[in-house]
């Protein structure tokens, strides 16, 4: 399997890592769409949100918790930020290893594009 984020987890491609534990890793997005833009992913490969099972809930449940901790460290918590997970083509997913985007440092618009 040739997955970009699995390679990143294994250290085979570089990343600016913000946090990691046995289950999840967070790193800066390589093409930031806001002054703050980082990703939080499970270390285990899961291709899309559609592939989640009930067994995944402990690990996936950690994603927003880690996201919020890093957002606080980065000083964007009080002003607010956007959390997004894109699923498949119409959702705008380009990397098929699930990831939570965290964007902040500017006002977000709604509805998203
Ligand atoms: P999505 O379009 O929701 O699948 O998001 C994929 C995200 O991964 C995009 O925001 C990319 O900029 C980001 N990305 C792609 N390659 C890398 C990389 N090597 N390191 C960090 N972020 C990446
Ligand atoms: Zn993967």
Domain boundaries, the chain: 4-104
pLDDT tier at 107, thresholds 50, 70, 90: very high
> 37, 97, 99, 101: which is the annotated catalytic residue?
99
The pLDDT value given to residue 113 = 85
User: Over the stretch 13-63, which tens digit does the pLDDT of each residue have?
Assistant: 999 999 999 999 999 999 999 999 999 999 999 999 999 999 999 999 999
Residue whose CA is at the smallest distance from ligand 1 atom 18: 30
The structure's pTM equals 0.98
97 is catalytic: no
Q: Which residues surround ligand 2, an ion (CB under 5 A)?
A: 3, 5-6, 45, 97
Say which CATH superfamily domain 4-104 falls into. HIT-like (3.30.428.10)
pLDDT for residue 1 is more than 90: no
Residue whose CA is at the smallest distance from ligand 1 atom 23: 30
On the CB side of 6, how many CA atoms lie within 13 Å of its CA?
Answer: 9
Distance 79 CA to ligand 2 centre (A): 32
What percent of the chain shows pLDDT beyond 90?
98
């Amino acid at each position: 399997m040739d997955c970009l984020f699995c390679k990143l987890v294994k250290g085979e491609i570089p990343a600016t890592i913000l946090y990691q534990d046995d289950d999840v890793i967070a790193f800066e997005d390589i093409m930031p769409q806001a002054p703050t833009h980082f990703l939080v992913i499970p270390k285990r490969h899961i291709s899309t949100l559609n592939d989640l099972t009930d067994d995944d809930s402990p690990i996936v449940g950690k994603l927003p918790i880690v996201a919020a901790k890093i957002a606080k460290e980065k000083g964007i918590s009080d002003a607010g930020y956007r959390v997004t997970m894109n699923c498949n083509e119409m959702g705008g997913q380009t990397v098929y290893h699930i990831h939570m985007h965290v964007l902040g440092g500017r006002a977000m618009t709604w509805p998203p594009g």
